[in-house]
Every structure is written in C-alpha cells, then in structure tokens.
Amino acid sequence: MYQKLSVRAALSALALLALASATFAAPTIQATPDVSAMLTMDEGESNETAESLIGTGGLTGGVLTDGAWLPEVGQPVKAGSVNKDLRTLPRPDVAELARSRGLRPEVLMPPDKLAAGNLNAPDSVAQTAAALAMPSSSSSIAGLDLSNWGAGWPPDTHGDVGPNHYIQAVNTSLAIFDKASGARLAAFTFDTFFDGTGTPCDTANQGDPYVLYDVYSGRWIISDFSWPGAVRSGPYYQCIAVSKTADPVSGGWWMYGMLLSSTELNDYPKMGVWHDGIYLTANMFRKASTFSGSKVWALNRDDLISGAPLRSVAFSLGSSYASLLPAHVRASLPPTTAPEYLLARGGTTSTLRIWRMKVNWTTPTASTLTGPANINVAAFTVPSAKVPQLGSTTTLDTLSDRLMSNVAYSNIGGNEALWVNHTVSSGGTMGVRWYEIRNLNGTASVFQQGTFQPDSTYRWMGSLAIDKQGNMAVGYSASSSTLNPQIRYAGRLVGDAAGTLGQGETTLIAGTGSQTSYSRWGDYASMQVDPADGCTFWFTTEYYAATGTNWQTRIGSFKYPGCQ
C-alpha cells in the first residue's frame, strides 16, 4: 500500500501477534467471526449504519448459516462515462507532486505468524547453478519516474500489454506506450484520468495501482483505491476504469467508484482475469489500523464492458487469512466450468493454501467459496533480513510474508496448472521460490518447484508468467552490498529439467544507483504475456539511475526463440 501517513508504529504490535491457523474438515469456509464485521460495522455501530451502507452501494448478505459463510451480494454500482482523448489530459504540476509526497509512506502489514529464519537455512530445492541461455530483451523502454510522475515510495509499478499498447501504472500516475515503437503516447495522473463517478475516485486516488488487459473482452481495466481526507476516516473505494474499446487512448472509458466499506481499508488490492468475471482481493484493515481479514470479490464482466451498473459477489475470510491472489488467465484458457482459484501462503513454512470460488450471476446467493485446502511444498525460510545495496546504508524490504502476483494459470495439453512465486532465504542470501501446482480439480499438489539462487546476489520482488507453449519467465529485482539494484529475469522451457530455471537469467537493465532514506521497494512488479502472439513476455519494475530517492522504472520485452 502507498499512502501519505505513517502507520508502521500503529501496526508494530500487531506484527508480533500469532495469526491463528485453522484446518477445516468441511469444504466451505468455516469460522466464528463477528457477523457485524461482514456488514462493515464497527462493534459500537448501530444497525442503522449497516442499513445505510446497503442502500448506498454496500453489501447485503454476509451472515452465517450452519457455520459457513454465505456470499455477500453487492448493490449495483453506477458507471460514469469518459470519452476524451487521453493525450489531451494536462501534465501534472511537478512542484505540486513533490509537495504531496509528505511523510514517509508505509505498507499495512497483516500480522504474520511465521517466524523469520536464518538466511543460511538450507533449501532442499535451491538451484545453485544456472546456464546463460535466456533471450535478451527486444525492447527496453524508459517508464515513469518519481521526479515527474511519482507521489512517494514505493512506486508499486504495474503494467500490462494489449494488441497495440502497453499501459504502465505507478503511484499515482499512468502512461500509455505504443508497444511496437516504445513511444509514450500519453501520460497523466489517476486524478486527471478518473472522472464522472461522483466519488473520491474522481479527485482522491491514493495508489496501489493495477492494470489488466482482459483477453475475453479485449478491454483494458485500470484500478486503484481511494478515500477522501484522512486515511483512518474512510469511506474506502476501489476505483475501476474499463476501456470501451481495445483503444485505450481515444476509445473512451467507463468509470466506477465502488464503495467497498465505510470502515475498512481495502489494502494491497490485486486483480485477475477469469472466464466468468474479473476477480479482486484485498487485505481489510478496520479504520486503516486493525487487520480484519482478507476479502475476495467477483465483478461482472458484462457490466464492466457495457457500462451497466456493476454487480458483484464477495466473501470475507476473517483474520486467519491474508494476501490472497486470484488466478489470472492469459495465453491459455480454462474450461468454462472451472472455478476461480485463489492462492495464499500457508499456515506453516511448508504449505500454501488454495480456495475455489464459483460465482453464479443468475442466482448470486448461490455463489460458493470452498477451501482452504493445504498444498504441501518444500520447506522454506522466511528472510530475517532486508536487502543490501551498493553505496547505501539503506536496506530494502522484501514483502516475503506473502505470495507475489501474478498467480498465472496455464492449460497446456490439458494439464491445468497454477504458477506463483515468493521470496525466501537460501544459502546466506535470498532467492525466488516458484511453484507449478496441478490437479486443481482434486487434491491440488506441487508438480514442480524450485528456488532460484545461483550465487550470493539477493533476488526478490518477483512476478512470473507462462507463454502458450508452457515456457515460464520470472522477473525480479537483484542487489547486494557490491551491486546496485538491477532488473533481471530468468526462465525455463517446457522441456527443461523439473524444478529448474534451465535457461538461467539475464539483465534487463543494470541500475547505476541505489535507494537512500526509504526501505520500501516494490511493493510488486508485473510480468505478462502478449495476447497478440502468446509468446512475448513483458516485464516492468523499478531501479535507480543515480543514488538517492528518485526511482526510475523500466519496461522490457523478450520471447523464447522456439515460440511462434
């Protein structure tokens, strides 16, 4: 999360609490939560408050029946319409952006029950040697930077690629590029982009941006969160823009200001494309302070692309779970009967968790969420340290308490799989742990896994994707006490030895500076596959051209020679 107020002190005590672990015999979510929390009420609030929420775009439902959560059916959210050419949007006042950066921003962190371990802890699936066969980048485009477009640290760099364009988002600006030439066609802030919703989304966008190209509809989806005034005051919105055509520059946009809660901040929102809708997850914090649990929404695609009042169905999981990621479709499609899959790190250092959500748009109250089920993985160690840099005493955060987006779905030769990564300690440094998970319709299990850690360099903040042949690539940051942070990527061909990134790694851009003053880095990156060919990978994240606080971003593309 990016914000302009420090909340680290308010959350430090929570970070020491144990996150309760629960294993359920029944396939549906079971718990003994506070029902009022599902109605987005503070314990001292009256029923009148809940009723007013329901009448203004809040959620109905969210009650317990036989100990199982029922779906929360959202009130439809009206869309605004924007038809302007985005090249005409005004450039932001650089001085005003600088003034708005204010105090050091922090990320809200759910309490993590897994204890950090020694960097030297053994890793049974570590890859300690690598070939040098990764393809070099075919494009390397300068993205947005702090001085001209940013509003704080970290940039939360994200982006996606479509038939003709690449869209990049940072806190709190956007840029649209011609993907063939790399030319920047338009750039603007979220506040100048959003219009017409009649909500804080029009004027008070706060960050955590996300960009998706929807392969089912051929439309772009851009999102961030918003609240008016002080972060602890609420109410809290998810801002969602959907292009009216495949042309993001002049084709027009539908704009939604979706009220998620009057009392709970929707931190670290993540999105995924699925065959039956667009899925959204977030960590919920009461009054932007107390962690109340993870939540997942299904958003109706037909509504989004037509500008109709947006229907949604949600489930609240309670405070035993955090940082769920929805599966995301790109180069290969799932069966139309498949539920949406959601992954999170497990309750131990040898498990992940999987949920399955099935939305019913005809009878929304019949929608289901099943799980969690444990997936056994090779034991990993949570890093006990931060990442060093050359020429700076500031060490960098890893967000190693969670899985990193995307959860990439693949369906190669009928073998459905989910792929995901996170950061672990290994061999005295940090590496990217990645998994391929199969048997999604039964007892989900790891088909292959590995930790990419071929030398003493720290690797973290990864994002991966799968091409149409089943080849994988993962991009990440790399740094050490003798190295400025770099942008690198590694990968494997579908026929490489299981558990290895058999193509090794290469560097997209070698940073020539390190970050000072602020430890926040990331908080995420984005690897996506081009929908035009199903082969070309596009990656974006941050780096530094000079030591200081002026972060830069880069966008690069590459593909494996055998993919056509």
The pLDDT tens digits for 85-139 are 999 999 887 776 776 664 334 568 888 889 888 888 889 999 998 888 999 999 9
**Could you confirm whether domain 8-96+120-558 is CATH 2.130.10.10?**
yes
The SS3 call for residue 427 is coil
User: At residue 58, does pLDDT exceed 80?
Assistant: no
The predicted pLDDT at position 32 comes to: 23
For 482, left (φ over 0), alpha (ψ -120 to 50), or beta?
Answer: alpha
Report the C-alpha gap between 446 and 437 in whole angstroms: 4
Strand order in the sheet with 526-529: 139-142, 552-558, 537-543, 526-529
The predicted pLDDT at position 119 comes to: 86
Determine contact, residues 36/63, Cβ cutoff 8 Å: no
Q: Range with the lowest mean pLDDT among 47-61, 99-113, 193-207, 440-454?
A: 47-61
Determine contact, residues 158/168, Cβ cutoff 8 Å: yes
User: At residue 253, does pLDDT exceed 50?
Assistant: yes
CA 522 from chain centre, in angstroms, equals 11
Determine contact, residues 61/72, Cβ cutoff 8 Å: yes
The SS3 call for residue 550 is coil
The pLDDT tens digits for 163-191 are 999 999 999 999 999 999 999 999 999 99
SS3 content of the chain, % helix, strand, coil (to 5): 10, 45, 45
Q: Across residues 204-229, what is the average pLDDT? A: 96
User: At residue 523, does pLDDT exceed 90?
Assistant: yes
Query: Which residues are paired to 44 by β-bridges?
Result: none
CA 31 from chain centre, in angstroms, equals 26
User: At residue 42, does pLDDT exceed 70?
Assistant: no
The predicted pLDDT at position 107 comes to: 64
CA 100 from chain centre, in angstroms, equals 24
In this prediction the pTM is 0.89
The predicted pLDDT at position 61 comes to: 45
Residue 357: C-alpha distances to residues 124, 334, 354, 546 (Å): 33, 14, 10, 46
Q: Running DSSP on this structure, what letter comes out for residue 6?
A: -
Specify the DSSP element, H or E, that contains 11. helix 8-12
Q: Across residues 529-536, what is the average pLDDT? A: 98
Nearest-CA neighbor of 141 among 461, 541, 546, 491? 541
Average pLDDT, the chain: 88
Which value, to the nearest 10 degrees, does the dihedral of the CA atoms of residues 73, 77, 83, 87 take? -80
Q: Across residues 340-345, what is the average pLDDT? A: 98
Specify the DSSP element, H or E, that contains 375. strand 368-376
The pLDDT tens digits for 357-411 are 999 999 999 999 999 999 999 999 999 999 999 999 999 999 999 999 999 999 9
What are the boundaries of each domain within the chain? Answer: 8-96+120-558
The Cα diameter of the chain in Å comes to: 64
Determine contact, residues 116/382, Cβ cutoff 8 Å: yes
Specify the DSSP element, H or E, that contains 97. helix 94-100
Burial (Cβ within 10 Å: 0-12, 13-18, ≥19) of residue 115: exposed
Report the C-alpha gap between 356 and 362 in whole angstroms: 19
Residue with the larger pLDDT of the pair 93 and 470: 470
